[in-house]
Amino acid sequence: RIYPLMRVTLTTSDGASVTVSRQLTKHSGFIEKAITDMAVDDNAVPLSAVAVDVDDATLKLVIEWLTEHRDDALPYPEKTDEERRADDIPAWDQAFVQKWDTKEDQQQTLYAVITAADKLDIKGLLDMTCKTLANKINGKTVEEMREILQLECDFTEEELAEIRKENAWCEN
Amino acid sequence: LALPNVILRDLLKKIEVKDRLRLRLSCRSFEKLVAETNAGFFLVGTITPANYTPYIEDQSLGVISIQFGSAEFKLDSTEDKFDQFVQFRERIFTGISFDVFVITIRNSSIFLNFVRNIIHKFQIKELHIANLETEAQLEWMLQVMADFPTSKYHSTLSFLPETAKLLALPQMEYLEISEFDFQHIPAELFFNLLHLHTNLHLADVVLTSDEWIRAIQILSSDDRLRRVTLWVRGSNVVANQAACGITEATEGGHGGGEIEVVTPHSDSEDMVSFRYRKCKVFIDHFY
């Protein structure tokens, strides 16, 4: 049973504290487990702090997403094969991610939110941000992919030539 | 890598095969990750001779076209190239899923072995095997079906196999038998096929008027959505229509017994459609 009025204080990795409704935190497998492990009485209002390994700025974005998705069904549905598609991100989520485009470190923000969603076990947010990253990679050149995924080429020219030769099976 | 491995594996299920190929070139870690991950789900995949034209005989095996989603691979039909491609395939994903996978087969044992090697780690919901021409190819198809026991099957045969072999086929979602000469499908065989398979497309079926009505009754009493296409001789059609109470003078809305004529010679001069309970029958191209 989830009591919507219950509130949980989250302490971030950079020392900030944020108090949020349990209605939001129920979407985080990590926070729910932490609360359960505290063995809080059903009728109590748990103000115990749950330490989350996420910085304040990223947690605020996570909470913004959770607020919009507070009524999403739980448990998050298991993904079927068909749901590999990355072009079905809801409009609100698309706008949410596009807001980061104005930030200088847009790529870092996306990575931080993906990592936070993974650590906090928020499946819906993780799925959406992975789709966003997939869309960023889609159709890009190798150099652009390296930039997006923050990769350094460690192949020799001969190794690259060999892989290009293999990839040439694909004519278009 | 900047992201945890579990996230990158999920990411690699959401991108196109062409993107996987480019990612192989990004760095050693990603080349390894591409080889060790599942490519995810695609609507359609195909293995077919390139520039294949149905119903044209004596086409050389030539170049083979393989499609995984939007990525098309072309390779010469030699044993060496087939072996190299199987090895290459193992470097671009561990597995892949398809809603529909279509194989247009050619009369070559090398080609048939190659196809089984390529698809053996695939997950396929609907397996379509087209252009079967010999009993040996039918045996091969049965082996492939055994490799994919939970798939639905579609198959197109351009010959009439031995009756025992034909009736031993697993249940098909769609079975087409057409383009064979000097043989017809007798009524008993037709009714067995009607009982075994969901959708049929059969050439040169010979039915008496009573058998024709029986077939319509069987289809009408079936709750499943089914489509049966029969190519029958013109004289047979006229007799069978007459048995249903349909003549040249029949008007829309009328017919014999429970048969209701829906379209007497309307859209095209040679088309009639009528309804019997839940079954709708279209008759066209008759003279």
The structure tokens listed for A49 are 């702090």
Cβ–Cβ below 8 Å for B10 and A130: yes
Nearest to B25 among A82, A134, A164 (CB): A164
Q: Could you tell me if B80 and B105 are in contact, meaning their C-beta atoms sit under 8 angstroms apart?
A: no
Q: Where are the alpha helices (DSSP H) in B13-78?
A: 17-24, 28-35
Q: Is A138 on the interface with B (CB under 8 A)?
A: yes
Å between B141 CA and nearest CA of chain A:
26
Give phi and psi for A116, each to the nearest 5: -65, -45
The Cα angle at residue B169 between residues B167 and B172, in degrees rounded to 5:
110
**B203-228: pLDDT as tens digits:** 888 888 888 889 989 999 999 999 99
Residue A142 near chain B (CB below 8 Å): yes
Q: Are B259 and B244 in contact (CB under 8 A)?
A: yes
Domain boundaries, chain B: 1-37, 41-183
Contact state of B3 with A142 under an 8 Å Cβ cutoff: no
Tokens 């309307």 locate to: B266
Query: pLDDT grade, residue A47 (50/70/90)?
Result: very low
Given a contact cutoff of 8 angstroms between Cβ atoms, the answer to whether A69 and A27 are in contact is yes
Per the CB < 8 A criterion, the answer to whether B215 and B207 are in contact is yes
Domains with residue ranges and CATH for chain A: 7-72+95-129 (3.30.710.10)
B184-207: per-residue pLDDT in tens? 899 999 999 999 999 999 988 888
Q: How far apart are CA B217 and CA B214, in angstroms?
A: 5
Angle at B87 between CA B81 and CA B92, to 5 degrees: 120
Q: Is A9 on the interface with B (CB under 8 A)?
A: no
Q: Which amino acid is at A166?
A: E
Rounded to a whole number of angstroms, the distance from the CA of A104 to the nearest CA of chain B is 18
Report chain A residues whose CB lies below 8 A from the CB of B41: 81-85
**Can you tell me the mean pLDDT for A128-138?**
92
DSSP 8-state assignment for residue A112: H
pLDDT score of A44: 47
Q: Average of pLDDT values for A85-104? A: 83
How distant, in Å, are the alpha carbons of A30, A32, A64, A152, B108 from that of A11?
A: 13, 15, 16, 35, 67
Identity of the residue numbered B159: F
Min CA distance, A78 vs chain B (Å)?
13
pLDDT band at A155 (very low <50, low <70, confident <90, very high): very high
Chain A nearest-CA residue for B73: A170
* pLDDT, position B244: 67
Q: Nearest CA to B27 among A139, A169, A147, A112?
A: A147
pLDDT at A86 over 80: no
Percent of chain A with pLDDT strictly greater than 70:
83
ipTM rounded to 2 decimals: 0.82
**B19 near A CB under 8 A:** yes
- Taking only the tens place, the pLDDT of each residue in B125-180 is 999 999 899 999 999 999 999 999 999 999 999 999 999 999 999 999 999 998 76
Identify all chain A residues contacting B72, using CB atoms and an 8 Å cutoff.
170-172
| Pairwise CA distance, residues B120 & A167, whole Å | 21
Residue B254 at interface with chain A, using a CB cutoff of 8 Å: no
Q: Per mean pLDDT, which range of A133-137, B86-90, B103-107 is the poorest?
A: B103-107
> Is residue B20 over pLDDT 80?
yes
Q: Which residues of A touch B1 (CB under 8 A)?
A: 149, 151
Asked if the C-beta of B72 comes within 8 angstroms of chain A's C-beta atoms, the answer is: yes
pLDDT, one tens digit per residue, over B265-284 is 555 556 778 888 888 888 87
B50 touches chain A (CB under 8 A): no
- Range list of β-strands (E), B37-95: 41-49, 63-68, 71-76
The residue of chain B nearest to residue A161, with distances taken between CA atoms, is: B25
